């Protein structure tokens, strides 16, 4: 593939991401699925550029002087600002050759000169420098105070590949040794006693141990969430917003396949796809149930039935921006208002299913107070049947690794402090 053709493919991919309603990873997969002729090296270069543009989107817009650039402008600005190329060299890639990018217009050249001029300036606004929507910045300042800049910057780094060893089929040490022999250079995770971290890429679909169910892809924060449910063999557990079933798998392993887990969700497709994961992992104590929404009749009939109810609520996903950098530019204030109402509803829906002495675990992959502690505080004020259980009292028996430093009763994990996705968890016990 010629440099000009590679630039044109990058432009088309960026335009697809900008106009698609799908997350960027789905748009990238769809793009290359229709381009079988693109070689592995070119595919890697094009996708790497697309992700880099997502991670520096605010800076590139500021350099260009526009809030809504197209793929051509973003690719041009990326090559000048992030690859440190001159405009004249970049213009050579926009050659108009066959399969290549058309030549730069006079207006595009003018904007390219602006990028060259502005890229050395230091007066970049804070929200631009931190690659965060300006309206989200005060919310993260509230969450992290003087550490906000470091926390926000960590959200824009590339996340490593985290694996959870499935204790129903393997031990962490054995999987660690196997991956080490294969030169994947795995490391044990510091917080999760089940986790391994791999820097780089693995072809999981063809890996024999993955296909055998010995390990799953799961971020360390998500592993901690499943462990903090602290489900015991023989108990009844409700995973109310199970999604693709990652935490259901982890909880089943913690219960040693003994007891009962019901994994529920309104997203039919994701829940059905989890069947294959359950089968591969050797999980036998989980059943799947598709819900009809807030007023699902089956859930209403489960009053006081479960020892543990996990509500991993729909949220903004701010804590997973490392893996989904485009999500920050899709989020709106209206989304947060809508999500807060959903979070309140699923909390109250899950609460009724908890038996006396049982626990309701509320979790999000968000770092925003209005989705986290504000929701829990509002719930406790409205439902006197529950009290908060400080996470520090559960960790020693549930996780059994050294506790992270976090002095508050609800647990927050973050990329900067803990090296994992941003995550929030509150443990509530039914006392009456």
CB 71 within 8 A of CB 11: yes
Cα–Cα distances (Å) from 350 to 340, 347, 359, in that order, read: 15, 5, 10
What is the H or E stretch that residue 163 is in? strand 161-165
Give the closest residue to 425 by CA, choosing from 373, 370, 387. Answer: 373
Give yes or no: 315 in active site: no
Distance CA 325, CA 51 (A): 8
Give the pair of three-digit tokens for residue 405: 């430093």
CB 143 within 8 A of CB 367: yes
Centroid of chain to Cα 84: 30
Cα–Cα distances (Å) from 91 to 59, 81, 105, 111, 256, in that order, read: 21, 14, 10, 12, 61
Helices (H), 352-398: 373-382, 391-398
Cα–Cα distances (Å) from 308 to 238, 291, 304, 347, 358, in that order, read: 6, 18, 10, 13, 6
What is the H or E stretch that residue 432 is in? none
Query: Long-range contacts: 291-296, Cβ < 8 Å, 24+?
Result: 291/264, 291/265, 291/266, 292/266, 293/266, 294/345, 294/346, 294/349, 296/349
Distance CA 191, CA 260 (A): 27
Of 61, 241, 264, 365, the active-site residue reads: 365
Give the pair of three-digit tokens for residue 191: 């917080």
Distance CA 14, CA 7 (A): 11
The strand order across the sheet containing 195-198 reads 187-188, 195-198, 161-165, 215-217
Cβ neighbourhood burial of 252 (10 Å; 0-12, 13-18, 19+): buried
Catalytic residues: 365
């Amino acid at each position: 593939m010629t440099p000009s053709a590679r630039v044109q493919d990058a432009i088309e991919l960026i335009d697809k991401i900008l106009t698609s309603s799908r997350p960027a990873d789905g748009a990238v997969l769809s793009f290359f699925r229709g381009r079988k002729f693109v070689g592995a090296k070119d595919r890697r270069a094009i996708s790497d550029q697309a992700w880099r543009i997502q991670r520096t989107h605010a800076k590139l817009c500021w350099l260009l002087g526009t809030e809504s650039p197209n793929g051509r402008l973003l690719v041009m600005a990326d090559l000048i600002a992030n690859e440190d190329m001159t405009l004249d060299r970049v213009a050579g890639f926009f050659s108009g050759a066959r399969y290549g990018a058309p030549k730069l217009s006079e207006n595009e050249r003018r904007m390219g000169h602006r990028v060259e001029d502005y890229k050395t300036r230091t007066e970049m606004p804070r929200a631009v420098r931190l690659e965060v929507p300006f309206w989200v910045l005060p919310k993260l300042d509230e969450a992290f105070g003087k550490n906000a800049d470091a926390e926000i910057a960590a959200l824009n780094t590339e996340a490593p590949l985290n694996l959870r060893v499935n204790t129903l089929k393997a031990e962490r040490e054995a999987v660690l040794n196997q991956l080490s022999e294969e030169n994947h250079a795995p490391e044990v995770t510091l917080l999760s006693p089940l986790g391994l971290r791999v820097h780089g890429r693995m072809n999981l679909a063809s890996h024999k141990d993955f296909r055998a169910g010995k390990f799953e892809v799961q971020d360390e924060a998500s592993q901690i969430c499943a462990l903090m449910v602290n489900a015991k063999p023989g108990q009844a557990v409700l995973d109310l917003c199970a999604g693709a079933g990652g935490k259901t798998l982890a909880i089943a392993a913690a219960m040693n396949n003994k007891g009962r887990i019901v994994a529920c969700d309104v997203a039919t497709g994701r829940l059905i796809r989890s069947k294959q994961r359950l089968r591969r992992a050797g999980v036998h104590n989980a059943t799947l149930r598709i819900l009809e929404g807030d007023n699902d009749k089956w859930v209403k009939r489960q009053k006081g039935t479960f020892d543990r109810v996990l509500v991993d609520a729909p949220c903004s996903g701010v804590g997973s921006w490392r893996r989904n950098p485009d999500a920050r530019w899709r989020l709106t204030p209206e989304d947060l208002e809508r999500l807060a109402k959903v979070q309140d509803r699923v909390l109250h829906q899950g609460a009724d299913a908890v038996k006396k002495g049982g626990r309701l675990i509320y979790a999000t992959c968000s770092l925003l107070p209005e989705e986290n502690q504000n929701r829990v505080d509002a719930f406790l004020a409205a439902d006197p049947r529950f009290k908060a259980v400080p996470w520090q009292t559960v960790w020693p028996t549930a996780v059994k690794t050294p506790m992270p430093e976090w002095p508050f009763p609800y647990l927050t994990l973050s990329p900067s402090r803990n090296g994992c996705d941003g995550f929030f968890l509150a443990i509530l016990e039914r006392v009456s």
